[in-house]
Amino acid sequence: MNKNLITVIIVIVSVVLLSLSVVQFYWVKNAITVERTNFENKVNDAVSNVIIRLEKIETFSNLQKTMNSQTRVTSFFNAMDSINRDLYDEMLAVKSPEDIEKLIRKSFMATEFFSEIARKDRPFEIEKTLNKLLIDSLLSDELRMKGIVTQFEYGVYSSEKNRMIIEKTGQYQAQLLKKGFVFTLYPNEFLANPNYLMIYFPFEIRLLLDEMSSIIIVSLLLIIILMLLFVYVIRIIAWQKKLSEMKNDFINNMTHEIKTPISTISLACEALSDHSVKRNEALSENYIKVINDENKRLADITEKILQAATFEQGELILKKEIFNIEEVIDNVINNIGIQVEVKDGKIIRDFRASNSTIIADKMHLTNVISNLVDNANKYSPRKPVITISTENFSEGIKISVEDNGIGINKENQKKIFDKLYRVPTGNIHDVKGFGLGLSYVKAIIEKHNGKITVESDLKKGSTFRVYLPFSN
């Protein structure tokens, strides 16, 4: 797939996803606004019912006072009649100045008594009228009936005194004045300076979010799922593109690798058909050896491809046996040593393992060591120095293959064990291979319950470390 087309698809899908996210956010925001409006309506209804109930309580209290006043008026007139009769009788019985003085004192006492009975009710005092516990109880009941179960703060504000005269806890006075719901208390009293009941919900946002939690969670999940699917699809497309490129490279490399021995065999056969060559026994044997070598080379290429296919299908079966891994390393060094010496290089043995006997598949581990040493030689263009060392760790043996080659950068170190991946070398194609070696190495080691690591710096060489348990 064209790179520009992939970019266009990514941009279009990103815009669509962003638009969906914006629409979803707008929809959730509107839903929260609706929910808040419903919440405000519930609070208004609940507090209005509380104010009505407080008015009813006050009306009942005033009615009792009125009844008490009527009883007092009746008592007042009865007392007046009784005292007037007594004073009249006293006045008729006056015979001396002492009697007049006594009459005057009784008259003052009667006046004071009448004043006490006839005294009017005191003016409306809300602080003495309201009961803090009563307000709290009424608000809790009404809010619960409306489905509002959360912490709330209330207060009664006196506009005449310009302060809060009643508060639930006093912790949210500023919030009550700025953000609280405000209601007029006793609106039927027609007071010049009315009083207000204020209520504030410290956890209002949390309550609204709890009410809408299911909607919000579903919306977020849908957006996240869409984004993850988008990322997954893009990664699949990118991987398919990369895989296609790697397969093309693999086919090109394989064609080049096969073409060379086929051409060589063809030329050797053509030469052998020449009568002059047939008569020369040494030359004939030389051509026959070339054919055998190139045929063996073709067999090795075929074996590598078959191994890759076997791994792909998961059909690999290990044939385990007891053997000394250091002896296997020696055999590999003897086989590859000539190729290293041709490049004026050398292989250094550094065997420090006290126990090098393991239970594993000898053939596959031989191929693992061969691949690592062969790579060390191929990627060390001048005078390769390859050091192969062994040492024990708690559960097995560690094998290190160190070279002085071109090295691998950090980015490529994460990919070198991927199938068909080869470290880019620009337009230089002097290092042959299919990108199957290290993926095969890793698969075999993991099949033995071991692991492989790499440390490398550009132009400073690489070190591959293989950890193998004694028995797996």
Cα–Cα–Cα angle for 298, 437, 329, rounded to 5 degrees: 95
CATH 1.10.287: does it fit domain 213-311?
A: yes
Residue spans of the domains in the chain: they are: 3-208, 213-311, 316-469
**Token reading at 311:** 């791994």
* Dist CA 365 CA 358 (whole Å): 11
Q: What is the pTM of this model?
A: 0.45
- β-strand 181-185 against 195-200: which pairing, if any? antiparallel
Q: Which of 470, 471, 465 is nearest to 390 (CA)?
A: 465
The least confident of 34-38, 117-121, 259-263, 387-391 is 117-121
In this prediction, residues 43-54 reach a mean pLDDT of 89
pLDDT of residue 217: 84
Tell me the per-residue pLDDT of 341-364, one tens digit each, with 9 for 90 and over. Answer: 888 899 999 999 999 999 998 988
Tell me the per-residue pLDDT of 265-293, one tens digit each, with 9 for 90 and over. Answer: 888 788 878 777 677 778 788 878 878 87
Tell me the per-residue pLDDT of 127-146, one tens digit each, with 9 for 90 and over. Answer: 667 788 888 899 999 999 98
DSSP assignments along 417-461, one per residue: TSTT-----TT---S---S-HHHHHHHHHHHTT-EEEEEEETTTE
Name the class of domain 316-469: alpha beta
In this prediction, residues 248-261 reach a mean pLDDT of 67
* Dist CA 67 CA 71 (whole Å): 6
* Dist CA 100 CA 91 (whole Å): 8
